[in-house]
């Protein structure tokens, strides 16, 4: 399997605690010392299961739920790898939506092994009705494509519907916007993948002529095709190693 840095242009990371930009993935934020343990300690309760629509305060009308569900279903149909959750909450003062989203996405127990696999391609939209904020979080499987910058830019573009039509309509608009953006993102990802793969393949060939032993090692490492293309028909054939 390729490392993301081998294939895609590496995106920057942000600390969920202090939102500082990090250049390297690490287990502890060098700025604020944020760790997973600290986050768990901050929200010491069991989260609900991750559903498509999460509305613990019953703030959504039935027709709004229907519309949201329909919009999410369309996005999931366009890209069957992706699963989407919409969560509307009233977070207390001092709690940031981004950090809560990070906690929710990681802390919710998957219902099955398949659910755990799909969690890597999960997209969470979290609406904090107290602070009037909308934040989005994605799993590791998507953060190369829907990185922080892309998500933030799309949210900014859809800010007007959020302001004028409310968070439900705004979220629907944003989901539709992402769905329309997905083909170009996907196309870019495929092109990047092919480019990097060819590059590596050629390098392997060159080494093959120079040193057969080294080339043999590279041959073992190299992947013949993008796994997504080989397993388009089923989500079950997604990478197992990731979830091991």
| Nearest residue (CB) to another protein, 40 versus 202 | 40
Cβ 62 to another protein, closest distance in Å? 22
From the list 64, 79, 83, 85, which residue makes contact with another protein (rule: CB under 8 A)? 79
How big is the chain, counted in residues? Answer: 244
Q: Which CB, 90 or 140, lies closer to another protein?
A: 140
Does position 44 interact with another protein (CB under 8 A)? The reply is no
Residue 241 tokens, joined: 């190693």
Cβ atoms < 10 Å from Cβ of 194: 12
Q: Which of residues 180-199 bind another protein (CB under 8 A)?
A: 182-183, 186, 189-190, 193
Token pair for residue 69? Answer: 């569900």
Residues paired with residue 87 on neighbouring β-strands, in sequence order: 54, 126
Contact status: 52 vs another protein (CB under 8 A):
no
Residue 168 binding another protein, by CB under 8 A? no
| Token pair recorded at residue 77 | 């149909």
Binding test (CB under 8 A) with another protein, winner from 9, 61, 217, 232:
232
Strands 13-14 and 83-89: unpaired
For another protein, the closer of residues 21 and 217 by Cβ is 21
For residues 104 to 133, the per-residue mask of contacts with another protein, x marking binding by CB under 8 A and - elsewhere, is: -xx---------x--xxxx-x------xxx
| Site for another protein contains 228 (CB under 8 A) | yes
Q: Can you tell me which of 85, 86, 97, 172 binds another protein, judged by CB under 8 A?
A: 97
Q: How far apart are CA 17 and CA 140, in angstroms?
A: 18
| 86 touches another protein by CB under 8 A | no
Measured distance CA(226)–CA(10) in Å, rounded: 18
- The SS3 call for residue 21 is strand
Q: Which of residues 9-38 bind another protein (CB under 8 A)?
A: 13-16, 19, 22, 25-29, 34-37
Q: How far apart are CA 105 and CA 186, in angstroms?
A: 23
Which residues are CB-contacts of 171 (< 8 A; sequence separation ≥ 6)?
68, 71, 86, 125, 127, 134, 162
Is 242 a residue that touches another protein (CB under 8 A)?
A: yes
* Other residues' Cβ atoms within 10 Å of the Cβ of residue 19: 15
Least distance (Å) from another protein to the CB of residue 216?
22
């Amino acid at each position: 399997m390729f490392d993301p840095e081998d294939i895609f242009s590496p995106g920057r990371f942000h600390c969920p605690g202090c939102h500082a930009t990090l250049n390297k993935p690490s287990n502890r934020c060098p700025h604020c010392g944020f760790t997973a343990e600290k986050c768990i300690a901050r929200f010491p309760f069991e989260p609900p299961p991750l559903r498509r629509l999460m509305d613990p305060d019953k703030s959504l009308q039935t027709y709004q739920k229907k519309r949201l569900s329909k919009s999410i279903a369309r996005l999931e149909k366009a890209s069957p790898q992706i699963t989407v959750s919409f969560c509307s909450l009233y977070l207390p003062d001092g709690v940031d939506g981004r950090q809560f989203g990070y906690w929710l996405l990681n802390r919710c127990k998957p219902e099955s092994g398949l659910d755990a696999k799909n969690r890597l391609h999960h997209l969470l939209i979290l609406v904090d009705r107290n602070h009037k904020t909308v934040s989005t979080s994605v799993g590791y499987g998507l953060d190369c494509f829907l990185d922080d910058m892309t998500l933030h830019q799309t949210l900014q573009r859809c800010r007007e519907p959020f302001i004028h039509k409310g968070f439900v309509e705004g979220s629907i608009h944003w989901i539709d916007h992402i769905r329309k953006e997905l083909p170009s993102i996907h196309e870019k990802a495929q092109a990047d993948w092919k480019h990097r793969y060819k590059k590596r393949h050629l390098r392997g060939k060159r080494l093959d002529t120079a040193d057969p032993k080294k080339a043999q090692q590279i041959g073992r490492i190299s992947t013949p095709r993008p796994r997504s293309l080989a397993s388009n028909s089923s989500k079950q054939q997604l990478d197992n190693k990731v979830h091991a």
